Amino acid sequence: MRPAFSISTDFHDAFGCEPEGVYAASGRMELAGNHTDHQGGEVLAATVHLSIRAAVRRRMDRIVRVRSAGYPDVEISLDQSDPIPTEAGTPSALVRGTAAQWLGMGYPAGGWEALVSSDIPPGSGLSSSAAFAVLMLSIFNGLYSGNQVTALALARMAREAEVHYFGKPCGLMDQLAVSAGGFSHISFRDPNQPERESCFMDFSRHGLAFAVLNTGGSHAGLIEEYATIAQEMGAVAQFLGGSKLADVEESGIRRRSREIRLRFGDRAWLRCAHFYEENRTVRAMVKAMKTNRPDLFLQGMRSSGCSSVLCLQNIHPAGVFREQPLRVALAATDHFLQGEGACRVHGGGFAGTILACLRADRLGAYAEAMKPIFGTDAVLPLEVTGRGAGRIG
């Protein structure tokens, strides 16, 4: 990532004036809570040192302009904020969508222009789209609202922009983790008022480090796979009288297992079992952090990874057998770790990355071991940052 003074200099070169400030939003890693947020479950996530930054200056009109390396310039009018279907999946959709959400809440608004720089690698599974959306809203918040809008409110608006403009079905975990910063234990039992708790453990003090392994797989075309998880879990919850699995006691599903399997299929039953097991795992990992027990944290991380493979089944798309890069990554990493660490599917799954926690002094050896399988630079070390989204300079 280019330092603040560099991006400020580049802003002058791009726009012919000095920026008012520099804003940033970090990427996030998911430590546990795989596909639980949309069912009112619990998650454990953390922001990382990789981020998206923007040098910004307000305009005197109602135009928002965003220039970002590698992407076409974006220019929108705050007077035209309706979704444009052809923009789905592009930065334009997120700029337009976040502006629409901000305006829809009645917050004071005006135009601005930004030069954006990112060191979050494409396909790294660090929620760059959530970071970008939260960043756009943080700029509105800083320029026009005196940073009075809360992290939760920013996260909600960012999610709406991702879902309805960008076209990405998602819960609220990514946006809230990015907006708040640091380690976040979040319960979504009340989707209107999720409960977030900060927690911390100094992993470096225990000689541990995190890294994602990028398998090179693409998330393109996987929207239906992600949506099916929520649909299957939700269908069982509704069958038992709830709107989401958090409304239903696990004992009720266990008691009516045969009926659920016959009506919805074994995969739906397994995915429901994952939900309850994953919630227990999140709580166990948070307790391990509070009591400074890295051994129990790693045990929980292994349990989370096992549940994703056995029950959630988001390791490869349904019916795909020849190409299973996530399963290869998990198997190769598990072989390398030999019990000294943990690994799990990272984020939405089906393609992309896995997350590993291992001895810091073995990061180099891990990268070398994965190189013949996934190529150079497939392993990306991560450092946790406690900074939430907002102005940094």
Tokens (6 digits) for 219: 């998330």
Amino acid occupying residue 208: L
Give the per-residue pLDDT at 15.
87
Tokens (6 digits) for 351: 């393609």
Cα distances from 111 to residues 99, 180, 233, in angstroms, run: 10, 25, 42
Give, as one character, the DSSP assignment of residue 253.
H
Give the per-residue pLDDT at 8.
78
Tokens (6 digits) for 77: 């009018």
Q: What is the mean pLDDT of residues 350-377?
A: 97
The dihedrals phi and psi of 56, each to the nearest 5 degrees, come to: -135, 145
d(CA 362, CA 207): 10
pLDDT at 166 > cutoff 70:
yes
Strands 21-32 and 74-77: unpaired
pLDDT digits (tens, 9 = 90+) for 103-162: 999 999 999 999 999 999 877 889 999 999 999 999 999 999 999 999 999 999 999 999
Residue 115: other Cβ atoms inside 10 A? 26
| 3-state secondary structure at position 207 | coil
> How many residues belong to the chain?
393
**CB distance 347 to 125 below 8 Å:** yes
**Mean pLDDT across the chain, nearest whole number?**
94
**CB distance 275 to 42 below 8 Å:** no
Cα distances from 43 to residues 29, 32, 82, 194, in angstroms, run: 11, 6, 32, 11
**CB distance 308 to 274 below 8 Å:** yes
Burial, 266: exposed, middle or buried (Cβ in 10 Å; 0-12, 13-18, 19+)? exposed
d(CA 82, CA 63): 15
d(CA 153, CA 148): 10
Strands 63-68 and 74-77: antiparallel
Tokens (6 digits) for 105: 């809440």
d(CA 161, CA 248): 30
pLDDT digits (tens, 9 = 90+) for 28-62: 999 999 999 999 999 999 999 999 999 999 999 99
pLDDT at 4 > cutoff 60:
no
Helix, strand, coil distribution of the chain in percent, nearest 5: 45, 20, 35
pLDDT digits (tens, 9 = 90+) for 53-105: 999 999 999 999 999 988 999 999 999 989 999 999 999 999 999 999 999 99
Tokens (6 digits) for 93: 């959709």
How many degrees, rounded to 5, is the angle at CA 54 between CA 48 and CA 59? 150
**CB distance 227 to 361 below 8 Å:** no
Q: Which residues pair with 391 in a beta bridge?
A: 23
**CB distance 58 to 111 below 8 Å:** yes
d(CA 194, CA 241): 22
Sign of CA dihedral 278, 279, 284, 290: positive
pLDDT digits (tens, 9 = 90+) for 258-303: 999 999 999 999 999 999 999 999 999 999 999 999 999 999 999 9
What is the DSSP annotation of 339-365? TSEEEEE-TT-SSSEEEEEEEGGGHHH
Burial, 213: exposed, middle or buried (Cβ in 10 Å; 0-12, 13-18, 19+)? buried
Tokens (6 digits) for 69: 């390396």
Give the per-residue pLDDT at 47.
98
Cα distances from 246 to residues 237, 297, 349, in angstroms, run: 8, 24, 22
Confidence of residue 222 (pLDDT cuts 50, 70, 90): confident
